[in-house]
Amino acid sequence: MTKTIGFIGLGVMGQGMVRNLLKAGFSVKGYNRTKEKGLPLEKDGAVIVDTIQEAVQDVNVVISIVGYPQDVEQIYLAEDGILASAKPGTIVIDMTTSSPALAIRIAEQADAKGLRALDAPVTGGDLGAKNGTLAILAGGDEDAFNTVRPLFEAMGKSIARFGGPGQGQSAKLANQIAIAGSMIGTAEMLLFVTKSGIDPTQFVETIKSGSAGSWSLENLIPRVIAENYSPGFFVKHFIKDMNLALERAEEMGIATPGLALVKDLYDELAASGHAESGTQALYLLLKEKTPSD
């Protein structure tokens, strides 16, 4: 494996991931549809290029993290996309939260072109990307996974392979179901605490080491208390993930009424103008639904 990585997608998550790859000694050729968003990475040592073809040229590993399954399909399967442009032997890793079926399709087409594909979505939000503490949930060829593990270790703390193509995506959707429950619980908790006249910061500090402790409690509720609704993870992307999970659950015949409820609330939140806010903005919707004293 060479030390130069092609990286597609330089948004909130991608920038933190690229910086940690650079810190670990890898070189990065980065591409973003809106080039200007990636330019700040140049001061960290990344080379920002104009096309996907340039990003995948003369590298053995390509990483992508973009917005939606349709974006994944476009960058991988288009005539000028990753699979058409990468040299045989390249390992391509999609770290977007996407469709298990699409991950399988990409892996099959990659194999036909002499490439190896991994689906390796991540969880941990912008802080995890920045701090190199992401959880990475992978599916695909075991040998390819072991080959690129040093890259994963530069970006993440908890790393696991769950099986063949698509299994990383299935694992991530399961993770999103758990997050949906956590988000509604912590948002309702904060509203209950504040309406009770309890100091929310003191309360969170007291319970975080107990059975109610969670990542959302420790990382997102302090943002809400500070009235900071900037995105570590966009509402619009969480809705996308919940839709994917609901679709997959329906295919498997699984009842997920809690997930459906939370997704409906986030749809309402997005419609009220918060699609670009962070997922912690759910609190605002619940607050709006609460009668004033």
- Residues serving a catalytic function are 172
- What is the rounded distance in angstroms from the CA atom of residue 31 to the CA atom of residue 52? 6
216 token code pair: 């959302």
How far apart, in whole angstroms, are the C-alpha atoms of residue 185 and residue 35? Answer: 38
Q: What's the token pair of residue 171?
A: 């694992």
For the chain, the C-alpha Rg in angstroms (whole number) is 20
Asked if residue 63 lies in contact with residue 8, where contact means CB atoms within 8 angstroms, the answer is yes
Tokens matching residue 30: 């980065």
Evaluate whether 39 touches 48 at the Cβ level (below 8 Å): yes
Phi, psi of 31 (to 5 degrees): -130, 135
The answer to whether 122 touches 171, Cβ cutoff 8 Å, is: no
